[in-house]
């Protein structure tokens, strides 16, 4: 048996229970990872509340981002004791999409902690092909803060939006895990970055990460900040992951021929869009979902050479997962919140 945080029915934070559950049984091609750290994502909250979509097993263990040590293995390519982090996207590795390196377009694509039990536990079972060595110089907490948000940011900026050196970029929600990753990845790409966050403290930290200019949207109009940053032209790319009214503001911030790429809707699932503005200015609205294992290799190369540094907000014991989710819901965090068994 092992300790895990589970919920037996959908609902509020009070549904989370820290209790004993069976250690996962391994199948061929899987490894049992002894969890040393598991980072939170907003997806954990949506799944617990009852996200519409694929059915999940109940009771359920959340947690997409895992780092730890291999405890047991059923197959080659890994051995007990290896320090690993886990690619959160699980695909079939056989279909045309997987063969082309488009893992998240696989018809059987699943996310650890969403469609399968995840890392809010002492152990988790994962496919061996999803294991990556922990980059040199990172501890387990830092390693757990990397995979999902950094992979998502890379996929959005490079694969989907095609960000180029010298372009102007607006990063919405710059204090989030995916926002802090986007700033660093975009800086390495040579973009000029305007980071938007909800407090001056978060803005200051965004500048430390590499943002050229910031806007505290709780005090200043975003449109005015974009005009000042670009001399009235608008930005080439908007990095958007909050939805709601921020989506409309992001579209309005684009220059002619600009691209908005989005991966989430933490601020609301419905958004307003004036189609006349879309076609007259020849804008592109691009959806993005996770990324591939190949792209995670690129992310980890940046981390290896210190060009991408995981931003950790707070560390909580696994038993206090409810408190950790409360902090995320209150939007108090800058960077990733991490659980440790």
293, part of any domain: no
C-alpha span between 225 and 104 (Å, rounded): 35
Integer-rounded Cα Rg, in Å, for the chain is: 20
Burial class of residue 123 (count of CB atoms within 10 Å of its CB; 0-12, 13-18, 19+): buried
Q: Is 142 in the same domain as 237?
A: no
Query: What is the pTM for the complete model shown?
Result: 0.94
Q: Is 227 in the same domain as 331?
A: no
C-alpha span between 213 and 303 (Å, rounded): 24
pLDDT of residue 336: 97
Q: Is 171 in the same domain as 260?
A: yes
Please tell me the total count of domains within the chain: 2
Which structural domain, as residue segments, surrounds residue 209? 150-287
Closest CA to 116 of 176, 62, 191: 62
Q: Is 261 in the same domain as 178?
A: yes
pLDDT of residue 77: 85
**For 20, how many CA atoms within 13 A lie in the half-sphere containing its CB?**
2
pLDDT of residue 154: 97
305, part of any domain: no
Q: Is 135 in the same domain as 13?
A: yes
138, part of any domain: yes
Closest CA to 179 of 37, 283, 331, 4: 331
**Paired strand residues for 254:** 235
C-alpha span between 108 and 336 (Å, rounded): 28
Q: Is 215 in the same domain as 334?
A: no
User: What's the start-to-end Cα distance of the chain, in Å?
Assistant: 14
pLDDT, one tens digit per residue, over 153-201 is 999 999 999 999 999 999 999 999 999 999 999 999 999 999 999 999 9
Q: CATH number of the domain at 27, please.
A: 3.90.180.10
Q: Is 137 in the same domain as 177?
A: no
**Paired strand residues for 314:** 337
128, part of any domain: yes
304, part of any domain: no
251, part of any domain: yes
217 torsion bin: left (phi>0), alpha (psi -120 to 50), beta (else): alpha
C-alpha span between 132 and 34 (Å, rounded): 14
100, part of any domain: yes
CA 77, distance to chain mean position in Å, is 26
Residues lower than pLDDT 50 in the chain? none
Burial class of residue 276 (count of CB atoms within 10 Å of its CB; 0-12, 13-18, 19+): exposed
- Whether the CA torsion 163, 167, 172, 173 is positive or negative: it is positive
C-alpha span between 257 and 105 (Å, rounded): 26
Q: Is 176 in the same domain as 207?
A: yes
196, part of any domain: yes
Q: Is 215 in the same domain as 229?
A: yes
Burial 137-154, CB ≥16 within 10 A → b, else e: ebebbbbbbbbbbbbbbb
Q: Is 138 in the same domain as 183?
A: no
- Whether the CA torsion 284, 262, 173, 265 is positive or negative: it is positive
* Contact in structure between 90 and 111 (CB atoms under 8 Å): yes
Q: Is 226 in the same domain as 333?
A: no
pLDDT of residue 235: 98
Q: Is 177 in the same domain as 262?
A: yes
């Amino acid at each position: 048996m092992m300790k895990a945080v589970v919920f037996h029915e959908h609902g509020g934070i009070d549904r989370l229970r820290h209790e004993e559950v069976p250690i996962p049984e391994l199948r061929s091609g899987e490894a049992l990872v002894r969890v040393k750290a598991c980072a939170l994502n907003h997806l954990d909250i949506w799944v617990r509340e009852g996200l519409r979509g694929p059915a999940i097993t109940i009771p359920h263990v959340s947690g997409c981002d895992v780092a730890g040590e291999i405890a047991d293995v059923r197959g080659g390519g890994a051995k007990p004791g290896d320090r690993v982090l886990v690619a959160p996207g699980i695909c079939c590795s056989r279909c045309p999409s997987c063969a082309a390196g488009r893992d998240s377009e696989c018809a059987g694509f699943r996310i650890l902690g969403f469609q399968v039990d995840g890392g809010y536990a002492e152990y988790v079972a994962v496919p061996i092909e999803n294991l990556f060595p922990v980059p040199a110089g990172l501890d387990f907490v830092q390693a757990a803060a990397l995979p999902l948000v950094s992979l998502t940011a890379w996929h959005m900026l490079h694969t989907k939006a095609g960000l180029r050196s010298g372009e102007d970029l607006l990063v919405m929600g710059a204090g989030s895990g995916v926002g802090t990753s986007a700033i660093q990845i975009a800086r390495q790409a040579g973009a000029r970055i305007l980071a938007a966050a909800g407090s001056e403290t978060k803005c200051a930290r965004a500048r430390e990460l590499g943002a050229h200019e910031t806007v505290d949207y709780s005090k200043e109009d975003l449109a005015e900040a974009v005009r000042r940053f670009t001399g009235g032209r608008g930005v080439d790319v908007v990095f958007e992951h909050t939805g709601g009214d921020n989506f409309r503001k992001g579209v309005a911030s684009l220059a002619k021929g600009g691209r908005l790429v989005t991966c989430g809707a933490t601020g609301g699932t419905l958004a307003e869009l004036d189609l006349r503005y879309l076609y007259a200015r020849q804008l592109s609205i691009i959806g993005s979902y996770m990324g591939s294992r190949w792209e995670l290799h690129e992310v980890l190369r940046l981390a290896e050479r210190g060009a991408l540094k995981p931003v950790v907000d707070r560390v909580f014991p696994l038993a206090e997962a409810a408190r950790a989710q409360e902090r995320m819901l209150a939007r108090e965090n800058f960077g990733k919140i991490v659980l440790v068994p």
